[in-house]
Amino acid sequence: MVLLQLMIGITAALFIWGFIRMSFHSLLCVIGITLVVSLLIPGAFAFISGILLIFIGMLAALGVLFIIGSFKN
């Protein structure tokens, strides 16, 4: 039973780490695309930075919910 719980815990940790890494990578890609587009179209920076701010807020909310959920029993 203990080995099964350890395997489930390790699998869940790897799954969550994959999501964190994927969301961080996508955040870096969005920042890079924002910089390139802002150099090409000066007015687009305000629009894209607003979308980026919403994306960062959603990731922060997800992180807070994850932290709260990990302490709830």
> Which pLDDT score, from 0 to 100, does residue 37 have?
76
The Cα 48–Cα 55 span in angstroms is 10
> Which pLDDT score, from 0 to 100, does residue 73 have?
62
Per-residue pLDDT of the chain (73 residues; tens, 9 = 90+): 777 777 877 887 777 777 777 777 777 887 788 778 777 777 776 776 777 778 778 878 887 888 888 787 6
Global confidence as pTM: 0.42
> Which pLDDT score, from 0 to 100, does residue 45 have?
66
